């Protein structure tokens, strides 16, 4: 695609378009709300794809900038798919100067695995080591803040005796 501009500038993002796409067309983010999107953008390296100044694609990288990154919320508007916009965004993310020391770059994909394979991604090596904690499967007491470590009364009595 000619006149494609890839930018990491969060001030250029069309937040309304991103939120609408995520809510209406992204199976992974159907429950996204504006406040959550703003927070996600604020804490990520964002990638915007622009054609004639209009945003047509989005992705974000969640990273510590030292060893790990997770690629998330990647999309290209339907009218611009098949024109290598997604490839340009992912290649720009991988080539970003602040991400050159990473040991691992992860993503999860249900239906675009072939697309990511073309860009060098592959199945997890030693995938059996990876685990996840899903909030809906977690006991609510584990999620309370502030967190405190308290020993059961019997243990406290034994220690102080």
Residue 86 token pair: 């997604």
Residue 144 lies in a domain: no
User: Is residue 112, in this structure, part of any structural domain at all?
Assistant: yes
What confidence score (pLDDT) does residue 147 get? 63
Q: Are 90 and 50 in contact (CB under 8 A)?
A: no
Angle at 75 between CA 74 and CA 80, to 5 degrees: 145
Q: Is 146 among the domain residues?
A: no
Give how far Cα 160 sits from Cα of 6, 116, 146, 150, 156, Å: 62, 58, 25, 14, 6
Q: Is residue 125 one of the residues assigned to a domain?
A: no
Q: What is residue 97's predicted lDDT score, i.e. its pLDDT?
A: 96
Between CA 119 and CA 131 the distance in angstroms is 25
Domain with 16 in it: what CATH number?
3.40.630.30
Q: What is the pTM assigned to this prediction? A: 0.80
27: CB partners within 8 A, 6+ apart: 110
- Asked whether residue 150 is domain-assigned, the answer is no
Domain housing 97: 4-119
Any domain includes 143: no
Count of the separate structural domains present in the chain: 1
137 part of a folded domain: no
Q: Is residue 159 part of a domain?
A: no
Please give the average pLDDT of every successive group of 10 residues along the chain, which has 161 residues: 91 95 81 89 97 96 95 93 93 95 86 79 80 64 64 60 57
Q: What are φ and ψ of residue 83, in 5° steps? A: -120, 20
pLDDT (0 to 100) of residue 140: 60
């Amino acid at each position: 695609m000619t006149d494609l501009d890839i930018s990491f500038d969060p001030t250029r993002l069309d937040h309304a378009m991103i939120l609408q796409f995520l809510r209406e067309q992204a199976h992974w983010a159907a429950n996204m709300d504006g406040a959550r999107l703003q927070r996600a953008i604020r804490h990520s390296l964002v990638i915007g794809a622009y054609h004639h100044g209009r945003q047509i694609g989005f992705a974000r990288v969640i990273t510590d900038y030292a060893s790990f990154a997770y690629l998330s919320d990647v999309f290209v508007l339907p009218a611009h798919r098949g024109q290598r916009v997604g490839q340009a965004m992912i290649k720009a993310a991988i080539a970003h100067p602040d991400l050159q020391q990473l040991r691992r770059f992860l993503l999860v994909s249900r239906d675009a695995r072939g697309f990511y394979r073309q860009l060098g991604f592959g199945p997890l090596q030693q995938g059996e080591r990876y685990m996840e904690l899903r909030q809906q499967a977690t006991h609510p007491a584990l999620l309370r803040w502030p967190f405190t470590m308290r020993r059961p009364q019997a243990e406290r009595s034994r220690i102080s005796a």
